[in-house]
Chain A
Amino acid sequence: MSLEMYREYVLDLYKNPLNKGIIENPSHEFMKNNPLCGDEIKIQLVIKNNKIENLKFDGIGCAISMASASLLTEKLKNLTIEEAKNINKDDILELIKIPLSPVRIKCALLSLDVLRGALENARN
């Protein structure tokens, strides 16, 4: 049942996302869309001394993709680049804690994909 997906905290994060917005001078950023639904997420990072000091995400998406972006960005705070790179699919599913169908898993994993892009994409 998909109603299982729409738990209170998922809906809360959708309505009041964490770390959503724009950073003026990020050191790293990346944007990507999910070709299936067209949703687009951007992640901006400020990395200093190998550590994520600040970060924001922006974009439009479904409740699942927005909630997972909030949870992921929250977890990323103060992590080192290596720690951030080690975050994987299972970590995201662990964070979001809801049963997802294969199609909706893609929604949940979009922000992880964007994060990996951002870590590789330093702005000069």
Chain B
Amino acid sequence: MKTILKKMLDVKKEFPIFKSNPGLVYLDNAATSQKPKTVIESLKNFYEKENANIHRGVYTLSEVATEKYEESRKIIARFINANPEEIIFTKNTTESLNLLSYTIQELIEKGKNEIILTEMEHHSNLVPWQQMAKRNNFKIKFIPIKNFELDYDKAQELITEKTALLSITHVSNVFGTINSIDKLIGIAKVNNVLTIIDAAQSIQHISVDVKKLNCDFLVFSGHKMFGPTGIGILYGKKELLEKLSPFMTGGGMIEKVSYEKASWNEIPLKFEAGTQNIGGVIALGEATNYLEKIGINNIREHEKELLEYALDKLNEIKNIEIYNPGKDKSLSVISFNIKEIHPHDVASILNDYNIAIRAGHHCCMPLMKKLNIPGTCRISLSIYNTKEDIDSLINGLKKVQEVFK
């Protein structure tokens, strides 16, 4: 066994879910990751020992909570190479994208009225733009897919001086494809196009550096990177965030209020109206520390080895169709179908063997329609997965085929 896989065996012990559910083979990490003990402890610790509202009280408890909340912002900023005031806390990726879709009009130059997305976007990065396009009479164009990858020649044609914004996923949640977002951001910059990156599926697997990428905005969810649910991130370049109007208004986000009007607080607080998910923010800081401690390169190496193993084993299954661009072009997400067996039935039977996989359209209904399939079975791997998990899956799939024989 490679040393990296051995090291990760210890990692699994740090996730209490596997103690509470012995034998669990959890292969749905793209939906949400499990939480390490240190993150769970952080939540517990906050509510037991430090709970107070932030940015308000002058008493010690509130000051400590505020400090920890802001410390978490710094940790996350450092993680993606941003400045702390460029990090805005939201509920999840979906809210971050909605925030942008409702406020970004102010940044768009006159005469620009096209939005470029890709055919592989999650509904979260599609439906808000459909709504935005409807409100503003914009047009949406889609970068097509070829062999489970984006067609970059077509992208080059689609992005023009009429393009207002480009919003694309870094990694596909269906195929695992790592998109060449640097290439697309480059094309966008030439045409003065605003760029938004959906990093929901990349942030926990590969290093993301917003300065290097030079994207204008980047969004992700804490719950997919070992943090709690209900906390997400919107990164935006400082000068752009300063120009944006707030999405929600109320307490905490104001500078001055009279009965007639109000003025806004500075960024990032301008975008954080009302009492925030304080415990969640602090725990997400802890999750980020945890991720950094393991090391994103170790994570990548471990998952690469598992992905290779899984692809080899799956390829040996009879009557399987795999929707994946190849091990070098994808992260540890594999979609597949077994001929004549519906994904739901596959997942139901695997559940009998304590194997959790996802079956369905993965919030990508137009993509499924394009592939002309009702859905796929999807496995997505993380740091605590092992080769034994893959072996269990393969045995499970053989059982499925026996049932449907």
Contacts and interface: CB of A to CB of B under 8 A. Distances in A.
B374 A61 contact: yes
A38 B374 contact: yes
B344 A107 contact: yes
Given A6-B349, A104-B348, A62 B342 contact: yes
B404 interface: yes
Contacts, number: 52
Interface stretch (B112-120, B187-195, B203-211, B359-367): B359-367
B352 interface: yes
B351 interface: yes
A56 B360 CA distance: 25
Give chain A's interface residue range (CB within 8 Å of chain B): 10 to 19
Given A6-B345, A63-B342, A63-B345, A37 B359 contact: yes
B375 interface: yes
Interface residues of B, number: 17
A105 interface: no
Interface in B332-366: 342-345, 348-349, 351-352, 359-361, 365
Given A2-B351, A6-B345, A39 B403 contact: no
B311 interface: no
A38 B368 contact: yes
A31 interface: no
Contacts of A14: 404
A11 interface: yes
Interface string A1-39: 111011000010010000000000000000000001111
B373 to A, nearest CB: 9
A95 interface: no
Given A11-B403, A37-B359, A38-B361, A3 B344 contact: no
B365 A38 contact: yes
A17 B361 CA distance: 24
A53 B343 CA distance: 34
A95 B403 CA distance: 22
A37 B374 contact: yes
Contacts of B361: 37-38
Contacts of A104: 344, 348
A107 B359 CA distance: 13
A79 interface: no
A14 B405 CA distance: 12
A39 B374 contact: yes
Interface string B363-405: 0010010000011000000000000000000000000000110
Interface centre among A3, A38, A40 (most CB of B within 10 A): A38
Interface centre among B343, B344, B359, B375 (most CB of A within 10 A): B344
A60 B373 CA distance: 9
A2 B348 contact: yes
B352 A1 contact: yes
A14 B365 CA distance: 24
A3 B403 CA distance: 8
A37 B344 contact: yes
Nearest to A38: B361
B344 A5 contact: no
Contacts of A64: 344-345
A66 B361 CA distance: 18
Nearest to B364: A38
A6 B403 contact: yes
A37 B378 CA distance: 13
A100 to B, nearest CB: 10
Nearest to A107: B344
Nearest to A40: B374
Nearest to B344: A62
Nearest to A11: B404
Interface in A31-89: 36-40, 60-64
A63 B400 CA distance: 12
A97 B344 CA distance: 19
A82 B257 CA distance: 62
A3 B344 CA distance: 13
Contact of A3 (B343, B352, B359, B365): B352
A37 B403 contact: no
14 contacts: A1-B352, A2-B352, A5-B348, A6-B345, A6-B349, A11-B404, A37-B343, A38-B360, A38-B365, A38-B375, A39-B374, A60-B342, A62-B342, A104-B348
Given A37-B360, A37-B375, A39-B342, 4 more contacts: A3-B403, A6-B404, A60-B342, A104-B344
Interface of A: 1-3, 5-6, 11, 14, 36-40, 60-64, 104, 107
Query: Top 3 nearest A-B pairs by Cβ distance?
Result: A62-B342, A62-B344, A38-B361
